[in-house]
Amino acid sequence: MSEIRDDDVLIEVNGMKKWFPIKGGMLSTVKNYVRAVDGVDLQIKRGETLGIVGESGCGKTTLGRVLLGLIPITDGSVVYDGTNILDMANREIRKRMQIVFQDPGGSMNPRMSVRSIVGEPLMVNGLSEGAELTNKVAKLLDSVGLKREHMNRFPHEFSGGQKQRIALARALSLDPEFILLDEPTSALDVSVQAQVLNLLEDIQEKHGLTFVFITHALNVVNHISDRVAVMYLGKIVELADTADLFKKPAHPYTHALLSAIPEPSLDKEKKDRIVLSGDVPSPANPPSGCRFHTRCPIAEKGLCDVEEPTLEDLGDGHKVACHFPLGLGMTLPVNDDSL
C-alpha cells in the first residue's frame, strides 16, 4: 500500500478517546472511567472498506459511534472531509454519514410500514413526500433486491436478511458518502451473510461509498475489506492491507485471532491453534505498558509491562504496536487443543 495522500482521506481520527464515567456514592461522584477508546489515530480513505476487528468489549462499536457523532468524543478529533465533525450541523452529518446496525429489527419501529421506515429520512429532511416519496422508496427497495409491494408490509413480516436489506435501503435514502456497518451479518445465517456481503460490494461500487465494517468475524473481513484495523482494549494494535495482514500478521494478538478461524474443509491438515491465557482485562483498569502483555506468550517482563508500544510502520503501510513484532522474526508458541 502506498502512502495515503491528503486528498485520498475522507475521515481522519487523531488521538480519539471516549471514556465513560463510573459513578458511585450518595452524590453520584465520578469514581473511575471506562476507557472504551483510549488514543486512536486512524485515516479512512475514500472509496475503501476498512474492517475493524477484535473481541467483544474492545471498543469497536464505541469507536464507530464516535466517528458518526452519535456519542460525544472525550478527547481528540474526528475530521470528516477536512471539517471537524463538532463544527458540522447535526443534519449535515446525518446526510453524509449513515449507519447500519447489527440488529436490523431492533432499529425499526414495528408499527411503521417499510415505506415509512425507508422514507422517513427523506420526509424529515424535506426532500420528498406523497407519490414522489413512494417512487423513491420503490427504487431504493429495488436497489437492495426487494420488491415494490414490500413497502406496505411491516418489519415482523420479513426474515433477518430482508430486514437488513431494508435497513440498508434506509441508509442509502439520503445518498451518503460514508456508511458504518456495525456487525451487519452476525445475526444472519451463513448463506444469507454471503448474499448481504455481495450486495454491499455491488452497492459500494455503484455509489462510490466508503465503508467501515465492524465485526469479530475475520473470515468476513477477509472477503469484504481492503484494509483491516485490529483493536484490543481500546487501542489499535495492528493496521494493514487485508492480504498482507492475513499473510504476515505482525502482532501476537492478530496471530492468535487468525489461528482461531475455522477451517472450511475437513480434508485440510489441522492448523496450529494459539490459545491465549486469561480474559480481556477491564477497560476501567487497563494494564500498564502494553495492554496485551497479561495474555501475550512472548511478553518480556520489565519492558512490555512498563513501556507502551507505539503504532510503528513496518513498511508498505503495515503498522503494528508491539515491542517484538512477529514480522521481524519472532515466533509464537502454539497449542493444538481446540478453543
Tens-place pLDDT, residues 112-161:
999 999 999 999 888 888 999 999 999 999 999 999 999 999 999 999 89
The tally of domains found in the chain comes to: 1
Domain assignment of residue 141, yes or no: no
Distance CA 333, CA 337 (A): 13
| Residue 134 is assigned to a structural domain of this protein | no
Cα–Cα distance, 217 to 215 (Å, whole number): 5
Tens-digit pLDDT profile for residues 42-62: 999 999 999 999 988 899 999
Give me the pLDDT at residue 338, please: 41
Whether residue 125 is contained in a domain is answered as no
**Which region holds residue 202: left if phi is over 0, alpha if psi is between -120 and 50, else beta?**
alpha
Closest CA to 339 of 263, 293, 274: 274
| Residue 130 within a domain | no
Cell of 298: 512472548
**Residue 123, domain member (yes or no):** no
116 domain-assigned: no
pLDDT at 3: 46
pLDDT digits (tens, 9 = 90+) for 213-260: 999 888 889 989 999 999 999 999 999 999 999 999 999 999 999 988
Asked if residue 72 belongs to a domain, the reply is yes
Judge whether 122 and 180 are in contact, CB under 8 Å: no
User: Grid coordinates standing for 226?
Assistant: 481492503
Domain residues for the domain of 271 are 6-111+154-328
The residue with greater pLDDT, 271 or 277, is 277
Q: Which conformational region is residue 59 in: left (phi greater than 0), alpha (psi within -120 to 50 degrees), or beta?
A: left
98 domain residue, yes or no: yes
Average pLDDT for residues 309-314, to the nearest whole number?
94
Going by pLDDT thresholds of 50, 70 and 90, the confidence category of residue 202 is very high
pLDDT of residue 79: 94
| CATH code, 265 | 3.40.50.300
Find the helix or strand (DSSP H, E) in which 213 lies: strand 210-214
Task: Kindly state the average pLDDT of the residues 317-333.
Answer: 83
Dump pLDDT digits (tens) for 90-115: 777 778 999 998 888 888 999 999 99
83 contacts: CB under 8 Å, gap ≥ 6? none
Among residues 323, 313, 284, which one has the least CA distance to residue 38? Answer: 284
Average pLDDT, whole number, for the chain?
Answer: 89
